[in-house]
Amino acid sequence: MKLSWRVVLLWTLPLLVIGFFIWQGAFSGAQANLGNNTASTRMTYGRFLDYLDQNRIVSVDLFEGGRTAIVEAKDPELDNRVQRLRVDLPGNSPELVTRLRKDNISFDVHPPRNDSAIWGLLGNLIFPVLLIGGLFFLFRRSSNVPGGPGQAMNFGKSKARFMMEAKTGVMFDDVAGVEEAKEDLQEVVTFLKKPERFTAVGAKIPKGVLLVGPPGTGKTLLAKAIAGEAGVPFFSISGSEFVEMFVGVGASRVRDLFKKAKENAPCIIFIDEIDAVGRQRGAGIGGGNDEREQTLNQLLTEMDGFEGNTGIIIIAATNRPDVLDSALLRPGRFDRQVEVDAPDLKGRLSVLKVHARNKKLAPEVSLEAIARRTPGFTGADLANLLNEAAILTARRRKEATTMLEIDDAVDRVVAGMEGTPLIDSKSKRLIAYHEIGHAIVGTLIKEHDPVQKVTLIPRGQAQGLTWFTPGEDQGLVSRSQLLARISGALGGRAAEQEIFGDAEVTTGAGGDLQQVSGVARQMVTRFGMSDLGPLSLESQQGEVFLGRDWTTRSEYSEEISARIDAQVRSIVEHCYEVTRKIVRDNRSVIDRLVDLLIEKETIDGEEFRQIVAEYTVVPEKEQLVPKL
């Protein structure tokens, strides 16, 4: 809990004031022995003895156990007027008292007062009292904070947020791009509102619904929409909030959560990121997490144990269903698994319409064009895209967002921040040939995705970029498409080698070669697209808690491993030769495009294809698609 500066000042000032008065009181107590007899003028002990010898001392008052004396003496320099002087005596001096009696000098001994002891006792007690008071104050302030120190004895209670009538502000109409998931979840809402419609035909209410999908597809948003549509009590909690360092706390919180849910049934329990508590038990090296496994066991028992939970529907969300325990996924616990995938073209258009409601867009902005340009974008990506475009609009002091801001926002989201343009130099020309090499190969190979634009403006770590527009259906990819992708990725290296020679080949193709090697190896070991035949030689799954690449086991002999390496090399070399041939045969158009790219720094896809069509006759397909 954070304390404001006012609270700190409120407690610090009284402490300083009280400490000052304690010190002042102790000092006053130490001086109180002198009473009102404190003299303003001091006399040395030697002079005091001289005055005794000259019979100039009238009276002596001893204080502080004989260590200090206030004397009345006749001063010859002031016509023998009596003065009060203070003398510091050298400890106890019994011979002084004897001499005073002998000389018939009036003297008195004043015993020390005990005020200093009282102030010392108060000084020792005041700090503990203030400390206890401060702790009590903080304890009271934090008693209303969930999980605060005031609730130290309630760490076994559930931390779920509870809403009797969930007014999340989100309805199904606000969730776009996941129509199939909305249809499945609509039945859950109907179960809660009108259960008799289903029980009349013998149907039972589902116990659990698991929302599965990549990050940003709208799983949590769907849960909020269910809560808003159903109008029933709604409990929401994250999977990580169950697990604590103390064994048994998570299981206790699960019991408390379901106890509250039973008291408010029918209701909905939403567990976000359930993989934090629902991972496979006993997996990995070195055993598992005892606290997390006990929490999972309690969750399994509450969902489908001896005691039924009629009227309680559990909705969970995760983007890692492969790590969940099999007992958690069986029917009777999570009866339904709803896939929430990235939206298609129609879904992206719907998502853009939802997020464009509060955005000022220029009339020429086409949401359909944006949707076509953003295949693979999730709902969160599209929301971020429009927000970045709005930020750019405000930065450029425009009243409405145009397609220019949309295009720049897409580039920024995908590739990163825009860097400083390169100056005209040999390095810039080499990068231009590299990017034109990618684009010319991608344009002349029919199976390759069309070029969207080529730019020399640096973004992120890239000094130049060639953008392609991928097709809508990326679920199934043919062998010719994979070979075309390999050839397109090798276009930059081929252009460097053909134009500048082997000595001027740069490291700019490092990422391209890594991509090429990965695709070619998957063609051989996973997709059966080589002379080895239709065999899957590598597992696509690894251990749950370990790095998948590290735990991938070889399921073939050393001879097969050598043949795999040979096949991968053959595929890449064949594609590279075809790519170099395309660059050699189209040198004139490449030089023209490089000069234009250096001049304009960006060439869009349509202009690029028009220039290529003027200079080039597209070769036959058999020449461009490598054959093995």
266 or 495, greater pLDDT: 495
Asked if residue 469 is part of any domain, the answer here is yes
Residue 375, pLDDT score? 83
Residue 122 and residue 215 in one domain = no
Q: Which residues face 270 on adjacent strands?
A: 236, 315
Q: Give the count of alpha carbons within 13 A of 103, CB side only.
A: 19
Res. 619: pLDDT tops 50 = no
Residue 241 and residue 380 in one domain = no
Res. 99: pLDDT tops 70 = yes
Q: Average pLDDT for residues 58-76, to the nearest whole number?
A: 77
> Going by DSSP bridges, is the β-strand pair 208-212/336-339 parallel, antiparallel, or unpaired?
parallel
Quickly tell me which residue has 């005091």 as its tokens.
48
Say which residues have a Cβ less than 8 Å from residue 222's Cβ, sequence separation at least 6: 175, 178, 181, 182, 185, 211, 340
Residue 588 and residue 537 in one domain = yes
For residue 510, give both structure tokens. 């490092």
Q: Which of 395, 398, 384 is nearest to 355 (CA)?
A: 384
Q: Give the count of alpha carbons within 13 A of 568, CB side only.
A: 21
Residue 471 and residue 578 in one domain = yes
Distance CA 545, CA 287 (A): 11
Confidence of residue 146 (pLDDT cuts 50, 70, 90): very low
Cβ–Cβ under 8 Å, residues 544 and 323: yes
66 DSSP assignment: G
Residue 486, pLDDT score? 93
154 or 222, greater pLDDT: 222
Domain range for residue 13? 5-29+116-154
Quickly tell me which residue has 């289903």 as its tokens.
198
Distance CA 93, CA 1 (A): 63
Distance CA 2, CA 553 (A): 51
Residue 489, pLDDT score? 92
Res. 62: pLDDT tops 80 = no
Q: Which of 588, 395, 625, 614 is nearest to 487 (CA)?
A: 625
Confidence of residue 18 (pLDDT cuts 50, 70, 90): low
Distance CA 513, CA 519 (A): 10
Residue 410 and residue 437 in one domain = no
Cβ–Cβ under 8 Å, residues 228 and 272: no
Residue 125 and residue 210 in one domain = no
- Position 482, amino acid: L
Res. 620: pLDDT tops 50 = no
Res. 150: pLDDT tops 60 = no
Say how many domains are in the chain: 5
Residue 408, pLDDT score? 86
Residue 90, pLDDT score? 76
Distance CA 596, CA 602 (A): 9
Residue 335 and residue 397 in one domain = no
Q: Which of 485, 218, 605, 172 is nearest to 377 (CA)?
A: 218
Residue 507 and residue 580 in one domain = yes
127 or 278, greater pLDDT: 278
Residue 102 and residue 203 in one domain = no
Distance CA 449, CA 536 (A): 27
Q: Give the count of alpha carbons within 13 A of 204, CB side only.
A: 12
Distance CA 228, CA 170 (A): 6
Quickly tell me which residue has 């290296």 as its tokens.
493
Q: Which of 69-73, 206-210, 496-500 has the lowest mean pLDDT?
A: 69-73
523 or 223, greater pLDDT: 523
Res. 48: pLDDT tops 70 = yes
Helix residue ranges, H only, 54-203: 94-102, 115-142, 179-193, 196-199
Asked if residue 87 is part of any domain, the answer here is yes
86 or 128, greater pLDDT: 86
Residue 604: its H or E element: strand 602-604
Catalytic residue annotation: 435
Distance CA 325, CA 516 (A): 36
608 or 87, greater pLDDT: 608
Residue 482 and residue 600 in one domain = yes
Asked if residue 420 is part of any domain, the answer here is no
Confidence of residue 162 (pLDDT cuts 50, 70, 90): low
User: Of 355, 380, 415, which marks where a domain is finished?
Assistant: 415
Q: Interior CA angle at 237 toward 236 and 240, to 5°?
A: 165
Residue 378, pLDDT score? 87
Residue 625, pLDDT score? 46
Distances (CA, A) of 374 to 370, 385, 452: 6, 10, 12
Q: Average pLDDT for residues 223-231, to the nearest whole number?
A: 79
Determine what percent of the chain is predicted with pLDDT higher than 90: 13
Asked if residue 511 is part of any domain, the answer here is yes
Residues 528, 526, 338, 470, Cα dihedral to 10°: -80
For residue range 344-368, what is the model confidence (pLDDT) as tens digits? 888 888 888 888 888 899 989 889 8
Asked if residue 610 is part of any domain, the answer here is yes
Residue 455 and residue 595 in one domain = yes
Residue 427, pLDDT score? 86
Q: Average pLDDT for residues 294-323, to the nearest whole number?
A: 81
For residue 615, give both structure tokens. 């200079």
What sign results for the dihedral spanned by CA atoms 81, 87, 93, 94? positive
Q: Which of 435, 427, 428, 469 is nearest to 455 (CA)?
A: 435
* DSSP letters spanning 218-263: SHHHHHHHHHHHH-S-EEEEEGGGT--SSTTHHHHHHHHHHHHHHH
> Going by DSSP bridges, is the β-strand pair 451-455/602-604 parallel, antiparallel, or unpaired?
antiparallel
Residue 225, pLDDT score? 83
Q: Interior CA angle at 574 toward 570 and 579, to 5°?
A: 150
For residue range 526-583, what is the model confidence (pLDDT) as tens digits? 888 888 888 888 765 544 444 444 445 566 788 888 999 999 999 999 999 999 999 9
Q: Give the count of alpha carbons within 13 A of 260, CB side only.
A: 19
Quickly tell me which residue has 């070619």 as its tokens.
520
For residue 97, give both structure tokens. 């008292």
Q: Provide the whole-model pTM.
A: 0.66
What sign results for the dihedral spanned by CA atoms 495, 497, 498, 501? positive
Confidence of residue 520 (pLDDT cuts 50, 70, 90): very high
Q: Average pLDDT for residues 199-227, to the nearest whole number?
A: 84
**The domain spanning residue 291 has which CATH number?**
3.40.50.300
Helix (H, G, I), strand (E, B) or coil at 167: coil
CA 432 to chain centre: 38
173 or 254, greater pLDDT: 254
Say which residues have a Cβ less than 8 Å from residue 600's Cβ, sequence separation at least 6: none
- Position 160, amino acid: A
Asked if residue 481 is part of any domain, the answer here is yes
Residue 518 and residue 592 in one domain = yes
Confidence of residue 204 (pLDDT cuts 50, 70, 90): confident
Residues 501, 503, 509, 514, Cα dihedral to 10°: 110
Cβ–Cβ under 8 Å, residues 571 and 486: yes
Distance CA 257, CA 267 (A): 12
Q: What's the Rg (C-alpha) of the chain?
A: 43
Could you list the beta-strand ranges (E) of 335-429: 336-339
The per-residue pLDDT of the chain, averaged, comes to 78
Question: Is residue 611 exposed (0-12), middle (13-18) or buried (19+ Cβ within 10 Å)?
Answer: middle
Preceding peptide of 266 cis, ω within 30°: yes
Residue 418, pLDDT score? 75
Confidence of residue 423 (pLDDT cuts 50, 70, 90): confident
Helix (H, G, I), strand (E, B) or coil at 41: strand
Asked if residue 421 is part of any domain, the answer here is no
Residue 117, pLDDT score? 62
Distance CA 303, CA 319 (A): 21
User: Of 396, 415, 434, which marks where a domain is finished?
Assistant: 415
Residue 1, pLDDT score? 43
How many residues does the structure list for the chain? 628
Q: Average pLDDT for residues 507-518, to the nearest whole number?
A: 90
